[in-house]
Amino acid sequence: MTSSDASSSPPEQEGSRAETALPGNDLGNNLPAEFMRRMESLLGEEYTSFLDIYAHPAAVGLRVNPLKISVEEFIALTPFRLEALDWSAQGFLLLETDPPPQPGKHPYHAAGLYYLQDPSAMAVVELLDPQPGEKVLDLSAAPGGKATHIIARLQNQGLLVANEMHPRRAWDLAENLERWGARNTAILNDEPSRLADHFGAFFDRVLVDAPCSGEGMFRKSQAARTAWSPRLVQSCALRQASILEEAARMVRPGGRLVYSTCTFAPEEDEGVVMDFLENHSGGSPAAFEVIQPKSMKGFFSGQPAWLESTLGLRLSAPLAAQLERNVRLWPQREAPEGHFIAVLQRVDDGPQAAFKPFKAKIPPDAREVFRQFCEATLEAPLLPQLLGELTLEGAYLYARPSLLPSLGKLRVIHPGWWLGQLKARRCEPSHALAMGLRSDQALHRVFLHLEDPALAAYLRGESLPLAGENAWVLVTIEGVGIKMAFPIGWGKRTAGVLKNFYPRGLRRS
């Protein structure tokens, strides 16, 4: 264990909840019978190869966090065997080793260097294609895989509003975004209709990763297999259509709306998009068209013919042509699992929602307390950014994104980057602040080697001996083989002891 103040020369730094794959076994005999009959009818000769995938374990994907480390730097330090994905520059398949890898338990995961995600799901944000400085809404964002991908593509510029209706899942989302180092992000816990009433046509890009019947998750989820039924497919399709309608209200003219599912059911995929297009044709107030996404290995066309064979529908040639532009990823072809993605562009010239300015709420004495904390704890160049958009919610202090409008009466988890809590004229920094910093932005740091027993002790919540002046100290992990260090949390040094401020909910037994 080594410590450093600003005058020394420490390593430089530029810059989830994971699902576990099931052991390999033949699940084919345990799949819902009606699902198997439908897939055999739709896939024809390809059905046998589709069924064969269930004799193998589900794939695990890993996406590198470019806010903290480059892909090249990560490859130089990673202990895992990886295979690059075609559709994501930061995405990889995690390959089996002996002993098996445990990426969710590695300290680099605690430092937010990567997110564990279904490899096929990484294609969704690539097709959403958010650009730095834009305003983006992730409408059903938990647990945070696509939200972390969006904020990485935004390069922590612009605005991400990440919403999740379910309260518990909204806090899972907040935890994953916190670990990722997300800054220009607001996390909400509200219904799509209330968001649409409040924001209007405000966002440049909106993602609807819709709740679905989860057929693409059958290899890794017994719950998905057990819950599946034709009735569930129908109810999901109705719910998805409702959510998509509300999402469309929040896309500005010229903006992009992406709809995705992890199911194969045409009712939930091409069927939902078909109904949406019929309601949003050229004569409607908000008109959309399916745009042709970039062609990549593993991307296959939508299947409008399945609506005719399954539901007995007759599609016009123009509508069928649009539905063919949808993207399907198939596990029996190039993709590890299944996914459906529709990229919709708003093509009318209707009005864009007016920006509703937010009025900061922070008393001068609270601002002064935080300024003093910053001067004692952080490097001076960071101060203008942190002091510029401050807002106080109760005792909790936030750096609010400059593009975020007033949130009115919406249910809010975090209205920006959570910086800390004010307590009796002192500031206790948040874990989110630590995870959003580079190691060289703190005045007082401690560098822990990956194999240092002090690192395991810190992650268990134990205090550490550490000589030096009384101060808040940023605890970091030193990168193996590269001159970088990565924050994992705070400690408070008092009388030669570093009191542990690693969040209790993250501590290891």
The residues annotated with a catalytic role in the active site are 262
Q: What residues contact 44, with CB distance under 8 A and at least 6 apart?
A: none
Q: What one-letter code names the amino acid at 148?
A: T
Inter-residue contact 68 to 148 (CB < 8 Å): no
Give the span between the Cα atoms of 426 and 370, in whole angstroms. Answer: 8
Q: Please list the residues that pair with 115 across neighbouring strands.
A: 63
Taking only Cα atoms into account, the Rg of the chain, rounded to an integer number of angstroms, comes to 24
Give the span between the Cα atoms of 135 and 248, in whole angstroms. Answer: 15
Count the alpha carbons within 13 Å of 221 in the hemisphere toward its beta carbon: 18
Q: Please list the residues that pair with 346 across neighbouring strands.
A: 288
The two tokens of residue 149 are: 């991908």
Angular region, 287: left φ>0, alpha ψ -120 to 50, beta rest = beta
Q: What residues contact 151, with CB distance under 8 A and at least 6 apart?
A: 67, 160, 177, 180, 182, 183, 184, 185
Handedness of CA 217, 223, 226, 230 (dihedral sign): negative
Pure H helices in 249-360: 270-279, 305-311, 317-324
Q: What one-letter code names the amino acid at 280?
A: H
SS percent in the chain: helix, strand, coil, step 5: 35, 25, 40
